[in-house]
Amino acid sequence: MKPLLIASTALLSVALYAQDTAMANVDSANNTVLNYSLNELAVSEDTPDVLLGELNSKKSKKGQTISADSKVAYYFENTTGEDGVYLKSMLFKVAKVKHKTEARIKIYKKHDYVQDTYHPKTGAKFSYATFIPGDPIATQEIIVFLEPGQKGVVEVDLTEYSIMMSKEGLFLSLEGVGYYDAAGKPAKITDPKEMTWIDFHPTTTDNYCGWINPIGTNSYFWNNINKHLKVDYEVVFEHKPSKKTITAPNFGLKVIMPKLKF
């Protein structure tokens, strides 16, 4: 079996995504979903919220385009120390919108697993612990439209979906659907310069996961980008990557601890 070469110049090692990784892909694609249909939330202006994640207002040249098959996921830890924490809103930073853009927000459980990979020079096999989006958490479809000229932080209200955050935390993923022309008709945009650009920034965490396509294959799967990069640098170059190399989407998540209506 030939090893799979990840389709990114940033990822250096040759990875074998087999066994547990294949199972992880099934987790995200099978028909078993976790349904969080809960009691109605009683939310008012004075309901306290907490901002999780890495959202910031600093300028950055880092980012990623939104395409019809793109998925950008970020793992939010439940750092509140509280039970009964619900999702209030997702926030993400947009750097550029030239054409009306449709995207969806999807929510996933965290899936921990062990990744098998090979040293690109010696061929030696080694493994490391990592995590990616796993089972989807079922909600109504959450659609977002971005308009031409829109820029800055976008906040999407999630309170109507009554989604509770587990102690293990969860992934939020921004996934591309398509583009529209000035007349409102679907448009095929293939030039990256014309695509909508979401902001990334330097980080130290391993919470960013990308939806990748290995060169020479038709398959796509989740990859913990920063964990992969850190392992690559330490194994291949025997030093840590620079601070500019490790980035994450400029995502935030507001959570609330409201009273419930019974």
Give tens-digit pLDDT for 182-237.
999 999 999 999 999 999 999 999 999 999 988 888 889 999 999 999 998 988 88
For residue 41, give its domain range: 4-260
How far, in Å, CA of 190 to CA of 171, rounded?
A: 28
Q: Which residue reads 């809960």 in tokens?
A: 38
- CA atoms 172, 213, 131, 192: torsion sign: negative
How far, in Å, CA of 153 to CA of 48, rounded?
A: 21
pLDDT score at 40: 52
pLDDT score at 156: 97
Q: Which helix (H) or strand (E) holds 170?
A: strand 170-180
How far, in Å, CA of 145 to CA of 136, rounded?
A: 22
Q: What tokens were used for 131? A: 């995590």
Maximum alpha-carbon separation in the chain: 62
Domain count, the chain: 1
pLDDT at 31 over 50: no
Q: Is 161 helix (H, G, I), strand (E, B) or coil?
A: helix
The pLDDT tens digits for 131-190 are 999 999 978 899 999 999 999 999 999 999 999 998 899 999 999 999 999 999 999 999
How far, in Å, CA of 6 to CA of 18, rounded?
A: 14
How far, in Å, CA of 173 to CA of 256, rounded?
A: 20
